[in-house]
Amino acid sequence: MTADGIVGEFLALKAETDADLLAMQCGDFYEFFAEDAEFVGDELDLKVSEKSSHGSTYPMAGVPVDDLTPYLKALVERGYRVAVADQYETDDGHAREITRIVTPGTLLETTDPTAQFLAAVVDVDDRYGLALADVTTGEFLVTTTASAAEVEAELHRFDPAEVLPGPTVRDDALLDRGETTAPVIDYDDAAFAPGRAERRLRDHFGAGALDSVGLADRAGVAAAGAVLAYVEETGVGVLDALTRLGTYDTGDHLDLDATTQRNLELTETMHGEREGSLLATVDHTVTSAGGRRLREWLTRPRRDRDVIDRRIDSVAALVEAALARDRVREVLDDAYDLERLAARATSGSADATDLLSIRDTLDVLPALGEAVADSRLEDSPLPAIVDRPNRERAASLRAELDAALAPDPPGTVTEGGLFQRGYDDELDDLIDRYEAAREWLDGLADREKARTGITHLQVDRNKTDGYYIQVGNSETDAVPESYREIKTLKNSKRYTTDELAEREREVLRLEEARGDLEYDLFCELRERVADHTELLQDVGRTLATVDALASLATHAASHDWTRPEVVAPGPLVVEAGRHPVVETTTDFVPNDLHLDTDRGFLLVTGPNMSGKSTYMRQAALITLLAQAGSFVPARAATVGVVDGIYTRVGALDELAGGRSTFMVEMEELSNILHSATEESLVVLDEVGRGTATYDGISIAWATTEYIHNEVGCKCLFATHYHELTTLADHLPRVENVHVAVAGDGGDDGDITFLRTVEDGPTDRSYGVHVADLAGVPDPVVERSRDVLDRLREDRAIEARGAGTSDGTTQAVFDLGSGDFQRTEEDDEEPLDPATESVLAELQETSVAETSPVDLMARVREWQGRLDGEE
Ligand SMILES: Nc1ncnc2c1ncn2[C@@H]1O[C@H](COP(=O)(O)OP(=O)(O)OP(=O)(O)O)[C@@H](O)[C@H]1O
């Protein structure tokens, strides 16, 4: 094919696909042309050369066929979708077609141990269907819900690598809320049609599959069908990896909205770092599958007490039995990622080393069985967990692999050397003949030296000349007549003979036959392994589960955590509780917490920086950890199961998202007030702060009443609005607690943060002290103290009337009530315009939002105006 034709063909194939880039095979290379070449040249630092076509030149960049995978991975991990066109032989030359599209959600070759979900969301008949498939492990989950917030929360939990919104949800806010940074692909509308989707699901998973997993909802079917269709387009093998369909009900798990997952820093901190998150703190797993399991438990804690208790029973046993725990972890350390290896076997991408890894990991199961047979673990649920997979089938698969594979097989599966002797008679025979021919060749140099008397003679092989006899120039006169010269080098000549040529042909033929036969045998073996996918997934899950349990136990033992008593919905009582992450970096002061039916709502006050947020998050995290099946950081804890944890904490900078912080705050509050039930735990940190003081107080006030009277859930509410503390006198379940400090924070008085939580409201706010600590310039701090003193003295700003010689007070704006109070005698008289205007401005002035300096300047200006100055 001409050069022109190649670029033309590339552009035609590119027009066929909606992938971002195309890699087209041209002989031994995959080439990118035109814009794609420039793009990959930049992204991957590939050399870009020029190719001429139709009189113009096109950029061209290529990678050797065997090296494509790492380049593909690099592109896909940056979020691009890459189509691959392979070349195949035809009767009159060769042709090319797109054989697969590699995308972030369907990349089998990933080396990142975290789960890689492809998600589809669709809305049918007012319900949302969400399907999540991880082709690297074969996991395929479907759920349906009527709530957009729940879809959002699930997307945040599963953190998909790629999202396919159905036609009706493409413009939905739920996809641009920043819940996912994954590429969002507008995929073929038809794939989401429920009828078509259902047929596709039945074809792939079998006619009865939908009924047996209880997938009836059209929205769920549509989402699952779209995922299948998409995966199918990306390559046939990848689709085969999806073996197990499952459904789940969002009600099985603790409801954690997306904001709460972020606020509680479950898997990453507010700054997007893993380090410092709850997961990073408690993760001591030794396998990547165990790490995935632990992440799943922390992001999807349970509501079912039986499940929770079983996990905690296992953790407790492992906490007690330190030696057995170490042994369990040591045994698990030898395990590879079986779920992923199973998917590689099913998709046909596993090589011999992968099958050996499967063999070695199957070995871990009996060893783990022995480790949990320890007397201190035998009464726990652990032996039953390890017994769940079929041990006999696992042992026989292991034995089959062990008998088949060579101990140190090559990385390619087409060149032989994969199998042990004795595995296959035909192969053994081929190998015997091959080795005999090789032996003849290996001995040839010595035999020829002896026969001819030539000393500088060697036999070797290279790509262009094949096998040859090489003789140094000084002795070429002595070569026998049977030698045929094939090449002259500077110091030597190369020869062949009829017999050497014949043997060479034989060796090559045998090599090829061996390679072909081993490849066929290997594919058969790999398929037999793929037939055991479910078994491998069972074993993989078991190892991951035990690893996650041992990790929780390791953390509990090393940080002195305690077993929580998990009870039916009800109280949350914590004795000497700590924050699970903060305690690892700080000399932490433990705190008690008591929330029950008589005392379900705590108003938490205290100076800035005293530890209010930490205290409240600690309560949420202790509940979450208990429901994940973990021990908790406390001396003792009773945790009443909750159905959801909802938090609204300090405003994040969401201005980049185009919404004002106060709007975000109110949207989050709205979601909480709509979602929380009597059995939820709600944590509110300074709700109402983002607006004018009196609006803020009013919203906080009404929120407290609503949660107390209507929702009736457990709630912790931190506030700087001292006014709210009086609510404890009116609402029976509301109590005040405060984080204590020593010192009054007054003029120069320093305060010491005690970090202890005590009953009753705090008396001061100490904000000026924190301003001082933060390095606000001295004049401002001092001035603030003056202003504060005055405000405290008067709790009022006076408006003095003009024209009254003695300057008697005419109207007082009372900061406590937020009302104007006038003196009796002035009431009759109409106000003069100056007073009117000052009062109007005064009414509009927000004390909280005006700096003390401005405030004083304004007051001075008002006084001037009232005194008749211009
Ligand atoms: N019990 C504790 N023991 C030790 N250190 C703590 C404790 N509680 C909080 N801290 C530390 O005190 C600092 C302030 O805590 P936090 O952010 O919870 O205060 P806050 O009262 O919510 O502040 P603000 O009102 O300004 O938001 C943090 O650095 C935290 O690590």
Residues 6+ apart with CB under 8 A from 137: 115, 339, 340, 342, 343, 537, 540
Average pLDDT over residues 383-401: 94
Domain identity same for 40 and 140: no
CA distance 245 to 142: 8
Residue 400 amino acid letter: E
Domain identity same for 51 and 140: no
CA distance 836 to 831: 6
Best residue among 593, 603, 605, 613 to mutate for probing ligand 1's pocket (most ligand atoms within 8 Å of CB) is: 613
> Which residue has the least CA distance to atom 1 on ligand 1?
589
Question: Residue 238: what pLDDT?
Answer: 78
Count of helix runs (H) and strand runs (E) in the chain: 28, 29
CA distance 482 to 495: 9
Of 252, 271, 303, the residue that ends a domain is 252
Domain identity same for 576 and 652: yes
Q: Output the CA 639–ligand 1 centroid distance in Å.
A: 23
Question: Residue 801: what pLDDT?
Answer: 34
Domain identity same for 605 and 736: yes
Q: Terminus-to-terminus CA distance in the chain, angstroms?
A: 91
CA distance 640 to 649: 23
609 lines ligand 1 (CB under 6 A): yes
Three-state DSSP at 849 gives coil
Q: Output the CA 515–ligand 1 centroid distance in Å.
A: 67
pLDDT tens sequence across 644-671: 999 987 654 444 345 567 787 888 888 8
608 lines ligand 1 (CB under 6 A): yes
Domain identity same for 239 and 177: yes
pTM (predicted TM-score): 0.80
Q: Give the Å distances, CA to CA, from 686 to 279, 499, 682, 717.
A: 26, 92, 13, 7
Q: According to DSSP H, which parts of 256-332 are helical?
A: 258-263, 278-282, 288-299, 305-320, 322-332
Question: Residue 811: what pLDDT?
Answer: 45
Token pair recorded at residue 226: 């779209």
Domain identity same for 585 and 668: yes
614 lines ligand 1 (CB under 6 A): yes
Question: Residue 771: what pLDDT?
Answer: 74
pLDDT tens sequence across 320-374: 999 999 999 999 999 999 999 998 898 888 899 999 999 999 999 999 999 999 8
713 is a domain residue:
yes
CA distance 127 to 132: 16
706 is a domain residue:
yes
Domain identity same for 125 and 184: yes
Token pair recorded at residue 27: 């002989």
618 is a domain residue:
yes
326 is a domain residue:
no
The average confidence (pLDDT) of the chain is: 85
Question: Rounded to an integer, what is the distance from CA 102 to the centroid of its chain?
Answer: 20
278 is a domain residue:
no
Question: Residue 65: what pLDDT?
Answer: 86
423 lines ligand 1 (CB under 6 A): no
> Which residue has the least CA distance to atom 4 on ligand 1?
588
The dihedral sign for the CA sequence 446, 447, 448, 451: positive
The DSSP code sequence of 521-579 is: HHHHHHHHHHTTHHHHHHHHHHHHHHHHHHHHHHHHHHTT-B--EEESS--EEEEEE--
815 has pLDDT over 80? no
Domain identity same for 753 and 800: no
Question: Residue 242: what pLDDT?
Answer: 83
CA distance 644 to 677: 8
Local confidence band at 762 (pLDDT 50, 70, 90 cut-offs): confident
Average pLDDT over residues 812-823: 50
CATH of the domain at 74: 3.40.1170.10
807 has pLDDT over 60? no
Question: Residue 532: what pLDDT?
Answer: 92
Q: Output the CA 613–ligand 1 centroid distance in Å.
A: 6
Q: Give which of 757, 826, 727 is closest to 615, Cα–Cα.
A: 757
Domain identity same for 744 and 695: yes
Tell me which DSSP letter residue 34 carries.
Answer: H
Binding residues: 606-613
Question: To which residue do tokens 């009900």 refer?
Answer: 249
Domain identity same for 842 and 756: no
586 lines ligand 1 (CB under 6 A): yes
Percentage of the chain surpassing pLDDT 70? 90
Question: Residue 799: what pLDDT?
Answer: 33
Residue numbers of the domain that contains 220: 118-252
613 lines ligand 1 (CB under 6 A): yes
Q: Output the CA 741–ligand 1 centroid distance in Å.
A: 12
610 lines ligand 1 (CB under 6 A): yes
Of 72, 102, 132, the residue that ends a domain is 102
Average pLDDT over residues 293-310: 95
Question: Rounded to an integer, what is the distance from CA 775 to the centroid of its chain?
Answer: 38
Domain identity same for 696 and 640: yes
Question: Residue 792: what pLDDT?
Answer: 57
Question: Residue 697: what pLDDT?
Answer: 80
Q: Name, of 170-184, 317-331, 719-733, the range with top average pLDDT.
A: 317-331
The DSSP code sequence of 391-432 is: HHHHHHHHHHHHHHB-SS--S-SSSS--B-TTS-HHHHHHHH
The DSSP code sequence of 130-150 is: EEEEETTTTEEEEEEES-HHH
pLDDT tens sequence across 605-638: 888 788 899 999 999 999 999 999 999 999 999 9
Number of domains making up the chain = 4
Question: Residue 1: what pLDDT?
Answer: 45
502 is a domain residue:
no
211 is a domain residue:
yes
Question: Residue 797: what pLDDT?
Answer: 39
Local confidence band at 245 (pLDDT 50, 70, 90 cut-offs): confident
Q: Output the CA 376–ligand 1 centroid distance in Å.
A: 40
CATH of the domain at 630: 3.40.50.300
> Which residue has the least CA distance to atom 30 on ligand 1?
611
805 has pLDDT over 60? no
Question: Residue 599: what pLDDT?
Answer: 93
Of 722, 737, 771, the residue that ends a domain is 771
The C-alpha angle with vertex 809 and arms to 804 and 814, in degrees rounded to 5, equals 155
SS3 content of the chain, % helix, strand, coil (to 5): 45, 20, 30
Domain identity same for 705 and 834: no
CATH of the domain at 156: 3.30.420.110
The dihedral sign for the CA sequence 86, 89, 92, 93: positive
793 has pLDDT over 70? no
> Which of left, alpha, beta for 570 (phi over 0: left; psi -120 to 50: alpha)?
left
574 is a domain residue:
yes
> Which residue has the least CA distance to atom 5 on ligand 1?
588
